[in-house]
Amino acid sequence: EVQLVESGGGLVQPGGSLRLSCAASGFTFGTYDMSWVRQAPGKGPEWVSVISSGGGRTNYADSVKGRFTIYRDNAKNTLYLQMDSLKPEDTAVYYCATPKSRMSDRNGWYEYSYRGQGTQVTVSS
């Protein structure tokens, strides 16, 4: 059974940092591209970032480029998202997910085979 379990969310002030983690099990993690997708209240899912199976390629949404860093540890079956210079508009539930297409930058949930339960990130003073 595929499981993706996110952690590391919380409440942070604008300008602060958080590191999200996603523990994967039930599939060969190191052979899959992995993504972070977020969903704010009342809005649809928004693709944030994607990393190749080996970790050598990454891509980011323009809204987070230069502030967020995606990386992975295939030996630990874990995906990460380092979020710096956080803004109130980054407030959302953040999900790790497995994209159906290689290095996908698409928003719809139908573009992903699996996702976790999500972790809440709230940026507020």
pLDDT bracket for residue 96 (50, 70, 90): very high
Q: What pLDDT sits at residue 98?
A: 96
Q: 100: how many CB neighbours lie within 10 A of its CB? A: 13
pLDDT tens figures, 48-92: 999 999 999 999 999 999 999 999 999 999 999 999 999 999 999
Q: What is the spatial distance between Cα 101 and Cα 124, in angstroms, rounded to a whole number?
A: 34
Owner of token pair 């993690």: 29
pLDDT tens figures, 4-25: 999 999 999 999 999 999 999 9
